[in-house]
């Protein structure tokens, strides 16, 4: 299973990062369509001891795939075969949009990191919702025990003015909530102008309250609602978000999104500068993401579910996040470097650690 890093270096490292991602994702989906899914599910299934409960849902494992890999819900079942306990789709916007001009995805191999300025490229909520409905139905028919959970991450359409952001989020919530196991409000991507301003609690409070009401009403049930925050918030702002989550009785906080910082990188400064603006993800985010998690845990205790994401690469690191207070952990960037058996390897490490 460890041959993939060599394969990546020889076959993918020299290809444009976005194109390489599309090729890899296409191969994963093709394997599923060709009938390999049943074999992969048996080979890569998480140990029963890893089953986890969060906001009323059962997860086969606490480790899942963060938003950004499957932006439009086109490969949920194929990704579930690989051992992820949940797949978070998105970010989805109220209207379809192409995202930012290419190139917009860049590797920093020496740092095991990625810079992206994708800009929420997606088909829009109306196109994605039927895919989610079909995927959840297929998962329900495929898995005897706890099936992988499907989360949906929603963000602001770029063309929508910041003053009209609430209505845009409400459109996405009403359209997608009936097809989602849980919903995430993304106000922390650095790639949509002005979006991070919505993390201000005065703006965030009516946004989250409105989305929750719209989602539950559209779905006819309570849809767990989480908010995803940036690692670049000050400690004071993080404390404010934690208190807001308690006030609104949110189901969870996802910490953290990508960072605009370029501090402490091993890659040469001219190379980093050449890549340009965008959110940095991967190994360099480990320290800050863990620090934010610990601060949130101290603030909310067990009253809000914490989902940790940012720089995790191994089962030991996932367990460290769980020990620090996370109920669920997500990864993405290391998937690009480690290949399709990464989640299964983490699950095996977690199972061994628990023994």
Instruction: Determine which of 13-17, 110-114, 178-182 has the lowest per-residue pLDDT on average.
Output: 13-17
* pLDDT tens track for 251-310: 999 999 999 999 999 999 999 999 999 999 999 999 999 999 999 999 999 999 999 999
- For residue 96, CA distances in Å to 76, 144, 296 come to 20, 35, 34
- Residue 99 predicted with pLDDT over 70: yes
Return the number of other C-beta atoms located less than 10 Å from residue 264's C-beta. Answer: 9
Kindly report the average pLDDT of the chain as a whole number. Answer: 92
In angstroms, the CA 15 to CA 5 distance is 15
Structure confidence at residue 199 (pLDDT):
66
Angle at 107 between CA 6 and CA 187, to 5 degrees: 130
Range 18-43 average pLDDT: 90
Whether the Cβ atoms of residue 277 and residue 298 lie closer than 8 Å to each other: no
Res. 348: pLDDT tops 70:
yes
pLDDT band at 10 (very low <50, low <70, confident <90, very high): low
Q: How high is the pLDDT of residue 355? A: 81
Q: Is the pLDDT of residue 318 over 80?
A: yes
pLDDT at position 200 is 74
Beta strands in the chain (DSSP E): 52-54, 57-59, 63-65, 86-92, 105-108, 113-116, 149-154, 182-186, 225-229, 252-255, 279-282, 305-309, 328-331
| Token representation of residue 309 | 């994401």
Q: Quick: pLDDT tens for 41-69.
A: 989 999 999 999 999 999 999 999 999 99
- Rounded distance, CA 200 to CA 99, Å? 25
Distance CA 244, CA 136 (A): 31
Span 114-127, mean pLDDT? 95
Per-residue confidence band for 193, with pLDDT thresholds at 50, 70 and 90: low
At residue 201 the predicted structure's pLDDT band, cuts being 50, 70 and 90, is confident
Catalytic residue list = 189
Q: Closest Cα partner for 90 from 163, 182, 14, 160?
A: 182
The answer, as to whether pTM is greater than 0.85, is yes
- Report whether pLDDT(316) > 80: yes
* Residue % of the chain over a pLDDT of 70: 93
Whether pLDDT at 121 is above 90: yes
pLDDT in tens, 135-180: 999 999 999 888 999 999 999 999 988 888 899 999 999 999 999 9
Contact between 227 and 245 (Cβ < 8 Å) = yes
Q: Would you give the end-to-end CA distance of the chain in angstroms?
A: 23
pLDDT at 214: 98
């Amino acid at each position: 299973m460890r041959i993939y890093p060599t394969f990546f270096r020889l076959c993918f490292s020299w290809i444009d990062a976005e194109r390489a991602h599309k090729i890899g994702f296409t191969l994963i989906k093709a394997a599923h369509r060709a009938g390999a899914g049943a074999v992969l599910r048996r080979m890569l299934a998480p140990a029963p001891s890893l089953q986890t409960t969060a906001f009323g849902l059962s997860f086969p494992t606490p480790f899942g795939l963060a938003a950004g890999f499957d932006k439009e819900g086109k490969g949920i079942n194929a990704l579930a075969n690989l051992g992820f306990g949940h797949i978070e789709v998105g970010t989805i916007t109220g209207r379809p949009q192409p995202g930012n001009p290419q190139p917009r995805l860049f590797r920093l191999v020496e740092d095991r990191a990625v810079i992206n300025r994708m800009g929420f490229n997606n088909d829009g909520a109306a196109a994605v919702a039927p895919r989610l409905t079909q995927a959840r139905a297929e998962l329900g028919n495929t898995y005897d025990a706890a099936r992988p959970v499907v989360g949906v991450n929603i963000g602001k359409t770029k063309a929508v003015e910041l003053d009209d952001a609430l209505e845009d989020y409400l459109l996405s919530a009403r359209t997608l909530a009936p097809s989602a196991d849980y919903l995430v409000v993304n106000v922390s991507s650095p790639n949509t102008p002005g979006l991070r301003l919505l993390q201000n609690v005065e703006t965030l409070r009516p946004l989250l309250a409105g989305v929750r009401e719209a989602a539950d009403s559209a779905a006819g049930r309570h849809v767990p609602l989480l908010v995803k925050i940036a690692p670049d918030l000050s400690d004071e702002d993080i404390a404010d978000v934690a208190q807001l989550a308690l006030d609104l009785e949110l189901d969870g906080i996802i910490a953290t999104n990508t960072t605009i910082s370029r501090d402490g990188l091993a890659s040469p400064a001219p190379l980093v500068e050449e890549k340009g603006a965008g959110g940095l993800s991967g190994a360099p985010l480990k320290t800050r993401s863990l620090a934010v998690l610990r601060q949130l845990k101290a603030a909310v205790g067990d009253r809000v579910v914490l989902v940790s994401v940012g720089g995790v690469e191994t089962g030991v690191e996932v367990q460290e996040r769980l020990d620090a207070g996370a109920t669920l952990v997500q990864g993405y960037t290391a998937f690009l470097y480690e290949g399709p058996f990464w989640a299964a390897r983490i699950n095996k490490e977690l199972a061994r650690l628990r023994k």
